């Protein structure tokens, strides 16, 4: 049992576990000490000095790194503390690019909010005016060092959480800058475009590449037929862009909003998720029955794919050859829907709305051609809805357009870690046993543990499965397989912690809210709830998927499916 210690914070007696930071102890009793560099579970190094408190020492101490001790007396709101915090904030702002009105983070900037909270009404110091070039090399993210406050939250997200470590502080003093080593750009290093850095960033130093103008231009072109698809995780987070509670599922309002924006057809990537299960499940069964390469690893997460291409070349044969649902849908739209509707392929503009910044990179991979023309994120869709003057909360619900908008419950859980595996097992079990799977919810692979494993009995075979989310956990899993310590038949890996619900393109959440609310868990609950509400919950039961096979593809895993729905991956250097 953990040892408990007693201390006093602003006259309130507090008992906490030994080792708890003073910052957390204070927040737990409702004393909100301001922070900038601190991010719960990601970063805590006391660099910004905004969270200083009086602990009776000779100088003020950073509460985020100060462990609570027996008998400690803490004062968080003395005049000296307030003045020190304000001075530290003014020093941070002294050489910050303060073009707030045109900043992508305006209104969602933690630096802006904290300065307001601390009543900073002047900046008494003139910092060194250093101008850095924007890093526009990534298809997913823009890096603006002029707005960086050197909090290192992005560094911790990339290095500690994801175990990638392609950015870090270089130079010293006023010349310090967070960037890839040797002055390289994001596009030159083994960045996987997962966007966890920009989700961690408190300012506009790392932002999503804005592709909304491309979409507006396409919608305005009378010669273009603009089709949109929306990923499963978007519906669990889009409402946050309009002030709805975290975990509110807004599927019907989202479909209505997309129609009002002017898209000619509104389809659901969930359809392609069901299609993915048909192909990936067939591939897995084929490998099981024909001594294929095992374990087979899912290939729906483009950040994970790029991570594997850079770091684990020897696992290339283990990768499922299936395209991701985004790319499958893009292929179906351009190669099935277009001729079916007698629309020339060149007149189709295929847009996807994704929770994932890495999807922008994926759509540009040369092997996928022009199947998906533009990728926007949940953040960008929110921006478009606001620009159009749509009152999102008052929108009525509507449905996706038929055929390519139809889906099952198995598809919607693709957005959460373990969901792809669970969806695959629902189908694989019934195909192999010829029996109805009564208990379709696989609780053993749900939840937010970094690594999960289970054994599922299918006929006479004990199928060993594993699920990992976050590339740091993926690395641990693959290393255990490489060493011979672990053996599995089937593996799901998602690049982002929690899966797509926590993708780099999802709505930004203030660090204070993250401290109080398990954002990933709430969004996951929304997707599981939608799954339970579906009439059909297994991918092979989707009549629209069955129709597309009848009309065009033939059979899962067949020649035509491999031509349009499968791909290959490549080795990449680390630099």
The last residue of a domain, from among 170, 187, 208: 208
500 catalytic? Reply is yes
Residues 63 and 138 in one domain: no
Half-sphere exposure of 161 (CA within 13 A, CB side): 26
State the pLDDT at residue 428: 97
From the candidates 64, 148, 300, 356, which is the catalytic residue?
300
Q: Which helix (H) or strand (E) holds 545?
A: helix 543-548
Whether the Cβ atoms of residue 306 and residue 285 lie closer than 8 Å to each other? no
Of 283, 380, 430, 541, catalytic: 283
User: In terms of residues, how long is the chain?
Assistant: 575
Predicted confidence at residue 575, as pLDDT, reads 67
Strand partners, 462: 457
- Quick one: 441 and 420 in the same domain? yes
pLDDT tens for the chain, 575 residues: list them. 779 999 999 999 999 999 999 999 999 999 999 999 999 989 988 999 999 999 999 999 999 999 999 999 999 999 999 999 999 999 999 989 989 999 999 999 999 999 999 999 888 888 777 789 999 999 999 999 999 999 999 999 999 999 999 999 999 888 899 999 999 999 999 999 999 999 999 999 999 999 999 999 999 999 999 999 999 999 999 999 999 999 999 999 999 999 999 999 999 999 999 999 999 999 999 999 999 999 999 989 999 999 999 999 999 999 999 999 999 999 999 999 999 999 999 999 999 999 999 999 999 999 999 999 999 999 999 999 999 999 999 999 999 999 999 999 999 999 999 999 999 999 999 999 999 999 999 999 999 999 999 999 999 999 999 999 999 999 999 999 999 999 999 999 999 999 999 999 999 999 989 988 999 999 999 999 999 999 999 999 999 999 999 999 999 999 999 999 999 999 998 76
Q: Domain holding 380: CATH number? A: 3.40.50.1780
Tell me if residue 259 is catalytic.
no
Q: Is 80 a catalytic residue?
A: no
Which residues have CB under 8 Å from 385's CB, separation 6+? 241, 242, 257, 261, 392
**Is 443 part of any domain?**
yes
Q: Which of 240, 279, 280, 309 is catalytic?
A: 280
DSSP string spanning 486-515? ---SEEEEESSTTSGGG-TTSPP--HHHHH
Catalytic residue among 24, 147, 359, 360: 359
Domain's final residue, options 72, 95, 129:
129
Chosen domain end from 151, 181, 208: 208
Token digits of residue 465: 């499965």
Whether residue 154 lies in the annotated active site: no
* 275 and 237 Cβ atoms separated by less than 8 Å: no
Q: Give yes or no: 362 in active site.
A: yes
Residues 173 and 24 in one domain: no
Tell me whether residue 283 is one of the annotated catalytic residues: yes
Question: Which phi and psi angles does 3 have, rounded to 5°?
Answer: -75, 135
Other CB atoms within 10 A of residue 173 CB: 6
Answer yes or no: are the C-beta atoms of 279 and 549 closer than 8 Å: no
- pTM assigned to the model: 0.95
Task: State how far the Cα of 112 lies from the Cα of 114, in Å rounded to an integer.
Answer: 6
Residues 272 and 362 in one domain: yes
> What's the 3-state SS for 110-139?
HHHHHHHHCCCCCCCCCCCCCCCCCECCCC
Domain count for the chain: 3
In DSSP terms, which residues pair with 466 in a beta bridge?
Answer: 453, 491
Q: Are residues 105 and 165 in the same domain?
A: no
Is the residue at 572 inside a domain? no
CATH code where residue 141 lies: 3.30.70.20
Both 424 and 315 in one domain: the answer is yes
Domain shared by 109 and 25, yes or no: yes
18 is catalytic: no
| C-alpha closest to that of 54 among 33, 73, 75 | 75
Active site (annotated) includes residue 359: yes
Beta strands in 355-444 (DSSP E): 374-377
Q: Is residue 124 located within the same domain as residue 136?
A: no
Tell me what pLDDT residue 387 has. 97
Does some domain include residue 575? no
Residues 267 and 373 in one domain: yes
In terms of DSSP H, where are the helices of 134-234? 153-156, 196-200, 212-220
Find where tokens 């029996």 sit. 435
Asked if 205 and 216 touch (Cβ cutoff 8 Å), the reply is no
- Which one of the listed residues 301, 320, 324, 539 is annotated catalytic? 320
Kindly report the CATH number assigned to the domain that includes residue 74. 3.10.20.740
In b/e form, how buried is each residue of 13-34, taking b as 16+ CB within 10 angstroms? ebebeeebbbbbbbbeeebebb
CA dihedral 24, 28, 32, 37 (to 10 degrees): 20
Terminal alpha carbon distance of the chain: 47
Q: Among candidates 120, 93, 127, 123, which has minimal Cα distance to 202?
A: 93
- Give the pairing of strands 52-53 and 61-62: antiparallel
Residue 327 resides in a domain? yes
Domain holding 182, by residue range, is 130-208
Q: Establish if 573 belongs to a structural domain.
A: no
Residue 33 inside a domain? The answer is yes
Are residues 217 and 202 part of one domain?
no
Residues 178 and 311 in one domain: no
Does 355 map to a domain?
A: yes
Question: Catalytic residue among 362, 492, 530, 541, which?
Answer: 362
Catalytic residue among 63, 334, 500, 539: 500
Output the CA–CA distances (angstroms, integers) from residue 103 to 138, 486, 557, in the order listed.
Answer: 19, 48, 47
Contacts by 453-462, CB closer than 8 A, 24 or more apart: 453/486, 453/488, 456/425, 456/429, 458/428, 458/429, 458/432, 458/433, 459/432, 459/433, 461/288
With respect to residue 193, please indicate whether it lies within any of the assigned structural domains.
yes
Active site residue: 83, 367, 443, 487, which one?
367
192 and 246, same domain (yes or no): no
CA dist., res. 510 & res. 507, Å (int): 10
């Amino acid at each position: 049992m953990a040892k408990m210690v007693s201390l006093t914070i602003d006259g309130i007696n507090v008992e906490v576990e030994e080792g708890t930071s003073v910052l957390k102890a204070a927040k737990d009793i409702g004393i909100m000490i301001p922070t900038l560099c601190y991010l719960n579970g990601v970063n805590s190094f006391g660099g910004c000095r905004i969270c200083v408190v009086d602990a009776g020492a000779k100088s003020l101490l950073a509460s985020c790194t100060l462990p609570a001790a027996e008998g400690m007396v803490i004062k968080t709101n003395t005049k000296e503390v307030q003045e020190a915090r304000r001075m530290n904030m003014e020093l941070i702002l002294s050489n910050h690019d303060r073009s707030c009105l045109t900043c992508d983070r305006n209104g969602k900037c933690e630096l802006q909010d904290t300065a307001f909270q601390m009543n900073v009404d002047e900046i008494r110091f003139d910092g060194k005016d250093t101008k850095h070039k924007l890093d526009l090399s990534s298809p997913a993210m823009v890096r603006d060092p002029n707005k960086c406050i050197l909090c290192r939250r992005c560094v911790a997200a990339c290095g500690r959480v994801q175990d990638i470590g392609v950015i870090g502080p270089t130079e010293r003093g006023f010349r310090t800058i967070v960037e890839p080593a040797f002055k390289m750009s994001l596009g030159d290093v083994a960045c996987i475009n997962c966007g966890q850095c920009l989700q961690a960033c408190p300012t506009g130093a790392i932002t999503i590449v804005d592709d909304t103008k491309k979409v507006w231009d396409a919608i305005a072109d009378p010669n273009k037929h603009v089709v949109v698809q929306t990923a499963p995780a978007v519906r669990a987070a889009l409402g946050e862009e309009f002030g709805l509670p975290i975990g509110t599922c807004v599927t019907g309002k989202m479909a209505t909003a997309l129609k009002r924006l002017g898209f000619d057809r509104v389809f659901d990537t969930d359809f392609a998720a069901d299609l993915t299960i048909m192909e990936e499940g067939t591939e897995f069964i084929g490998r099981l029955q024909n001594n294929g390469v095992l374990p087979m690893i899912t290939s729906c997460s483009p950040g994970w794919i790029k991570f594997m291409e850079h770091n684990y070349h020897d696992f290339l044969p283990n990768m499922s050859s299936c395209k991701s649902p985004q790319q499958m849908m893009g292929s179906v739209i351009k190669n099935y829907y277009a001729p079916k509707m007698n629309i020339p392929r060149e007149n189709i503009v295929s847009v996807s709305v994704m929770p994932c910044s890495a999807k922008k990179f994926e759509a540009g991979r040369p092997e996928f051609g022009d199947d998906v023309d533009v990728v926007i994120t949940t953040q960008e869709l929110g921006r478009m809805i606001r620009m159009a003057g749509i009152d999102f909360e008052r929108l009525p619900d509507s449905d996706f357009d038929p055929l390519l908008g139809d889906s099952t419950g198995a598809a919607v859980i693709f957005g959460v870690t373990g969901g792809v595996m669970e969806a695959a097992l629902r189908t694989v079990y019934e195909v192999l046993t010829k029996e109805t799977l009564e208990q379709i919810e696989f609780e053993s692979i749900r939840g937010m543990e970094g690594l999960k494993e289970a054994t599922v009995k299918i006929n006479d075979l004990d199928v060993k499965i594993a699920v990992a989310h976050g590339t740091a956990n993926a690395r641990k899993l693959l290393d255990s397989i490489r060493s011979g310590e672990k053996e599995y038949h089937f593996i799901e890996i998602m690049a982002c912690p929690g899966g797509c619900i926590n993708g780099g393109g999802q709505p930004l959440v203030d660090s204070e809210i993250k401290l109080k609310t398990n954002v990933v868990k709430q969004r996951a609950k929304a997707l599981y709830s939608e799954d339970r509400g579906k009439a059909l919950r297994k991918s092979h039961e989707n009549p629209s998927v069955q129709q597309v096979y009848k009309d065009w593809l033939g059979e899962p895993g067949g020649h035509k499916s491999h031509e349009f729905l499968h791909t290959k991956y490549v080795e990449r250097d680390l630099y």
